[in-house]
Amino acid sequence: MIPTGVGCALGGYAGDGLPAARLLAAASGCLITHPNVMNGAALYWSDRRIHYVEGWALDRFAAGDLALAVVVGRRVGLLLDAGIEPELRQRQIQAAEACRATLGLAIGPVITTDKPLGVGLSLGPSGASWGTLERPDALLRAGEQLVAAGATAIAVVARFPEDPGSEALAAYRHGDGVDALAGAEAVISHLLVQHLGIPCAHAPALAPLPLDPDLDPRAAAEELGHTFLPCVLVGLSRAPDLVPLAGGTPPGVRRTDGPCPPQSGWSGAAVPARGTLLTASALGAVVAPAGALGGEAVLACAERGLPVIAVHNPSVLQVSAQALGLEVLPAASYAEAAGLVLALREGIDPAALRRPLRPLI
């Protein structure tokens, strides 16, 4: 997990957490993560070892309320904010058409909300971004219509307010500050997933920015085109089903209570079959920034005694293991975190890899 909108040095921009996700997927054989890590605007990485799960659903999965059922593919409905201008709206539709024609994704139908959503952006006292929605009812009605029309996942594009001359935006483009959009994006996706129980993710609609020759490399993915939609469509195309566990394992699915099934890329391994049910008891470790350990998913895993790998990844938050009274495995980088994941997978005590080695007595 890399929390949204808190300015993490790695993962605080569009898709710059992807290299770490790819490495952790290779080390573990099965990585469950959220759109903030995977979404790189026009850039994306499809890997069957990585399961794309919206943040609210990820919290519920970690708490044991939901399981994840592996799917081969799904139909992604496109939900457009009525507040998007006609030309910018057409850019979103063209991006969806490109993903159909070039990537073979099943996309549609397309529904526009009956009222503009009215997204508002704010910063909290900690410096983390958050947001508001004037018409959540319009969002939920459109989502219900997409489900009724056969969509099994929803990509949302909402018109976001913008201030191209703001100091905060300039700082962000130059590698400082937080993603001002991320908090509001989380509000939108959380509402839909909680209400509909299917995978959902969001891409903001914004006008292109003027060229900046001093752009930070981490911000470059957001400058490549007219839309951030392609990564969301790709991520949702194989996002697992969200299966409530209150009534036990549903019929037709194969429950996995041991370690996550091995994935392609390992000798003799195969991608999990359609219908395989991943549960929280299958988790082997949780990886999160060392200063952002207060999220529900991390705390739920820690409460069950799951190893928590705390990676040095500075942000505006200071919710550390010391502040929470947690025992963690510290990692100076995501490369070191991947080594710890591999050690745990192979049954090697991480303490045996550090010096000095403390005596037993």
Tell me how far apart the alpha carbons of residues 214 and 171 are, in angstroms, rounded to a whole number.
Answer: 11
Q: Which residue carries 């490549």 as its tokens?
A: 224
> Residue 154: beta bridge partners?
77, 200
User: What does the pLDDT look like over 191-221, one tens digit per residue?
Assistant: 999 999 999 999 999 998 889 999 999 999 9
Other Cβ atoms closer than 10 A to 97: 11
pLDDT given at position 163: 76
The three-state secondary structure class of 190 is: helix
Tokens representing residue 159 in the block? 């018109």
pTM over 0.95: no
Secondary structure (DSSP) of 69-82: E--S--EEEEEE-T
Tell me how far apart the alpha carbons of residues 343 and 27 are, in angstroms, rounded to a whole number.
Answer: 9
pLDDT given at position 253: 40
H or E, element range at 115: none
Dihedral angle sign, alpha carbons of residues 76, 77, 81, 86: positive
Highest mean pLDDT among 159-163, 223-227, 276-280: 276-280
Tell me how far apart the alpha carbons of residues 173 and 115 are, in angstroms, rounded to a whole number.
Answer: 32
Distances (CA, A) of 171 to 77, 178, 227, 323: 35, 9, 21, 29
Tell me how far apart the alpha carbons of residues 221 and 43 are, in angstroms, rounded to a whole number.
Answer: 7
**Quick one: angle between helices 334-345 and 18-28, nearest 10?**
20
Residue 263: is its pLDDT beyond 70? no
> Residue 242: beta bridge partners?
68
Q: How many helices (H) and strands (E) does the chain have?
A: 11, 15
Question: Mean per-residue pLDDT for 82-91?
Answer: 97
Q: Which residue has the higher pLDDT, 46 or 274?
A: 46
